[in-house]
Amino acid sequence: MADGKKVHVRATLRFDSDTHQRAIYWADRKGISLSAYAEEAIREKIDRDNGVHVIPNSLLDNRLNQIVDQLSSFARELANNTTVVTSGFDTIIGMTRGDSYLSDDFDGLG
C-alpha cells in the first residue's frame, strides 16, 4: 500500500434472511452496493469498539435543537406556574385582609 491504493479482499459473510433484506433495503436507500454498505457498517462498529464515537453533524444538531426546545418549554411552564402561584397567594392574602368581593355583605343580609 505504499503507492496509496487500497487493496480489496474478498470475504464471505453470512446473515439471517431478515438482516440481509434490511441491509439490501438500506444500501439501496443510500445508493450504494451491499458490499459498500457492509464495509461501512463494519468500519463504524470497529470505530465504536475502539472508543471513537463519530456522530454526524446533522444528528448532533437535531438533538441539540430538541434540547433547546425542551428548555424553552420548561421556561414557559415555570413562568406560567410562577404567575399562577403568585396570583393565588395574592388572592389568599387579600381575603385574609377582607379585601375580597366574595366576603362583602349584600344588601345587609350578611
How many domains is the chain partitioned into structurally? 2
Run means of pLDDT, 10 residues per run, the chain, 110 residues: 76 92 95 94 89 76 90 94 92 76 57
Query: Does any domain span residue 7?
Result: no
Query: Does any domain span residue 33?
Result: yes
Shared domain check, 45 and 69? no
Question: What was the pLDDT predicted at 107?
Answer: 53
Shared domain check, 88 and 64? yes
Question: What was the pLDDT predicted at 101?
Answer: 64
15 closest CA partner among 6, 7, 24: 24
Give the rounded distance of the alpha carbon of 7 from its chain centre.
40
| pTM of structure | 0.46
Shared domain check, 75 and 60? yes
Question: What was the pLDDT predicted at 102?
Answer: 63
Query: Does any domain span residue 87?
Result: yes
Domain region containing 64: 56-101
Shared domain check, 88 and 62? yes
Question: What was the pLDDT predicted at 100?
Answer: 61
Question: What was the pLDDT predicted at 78?
Answer: 95
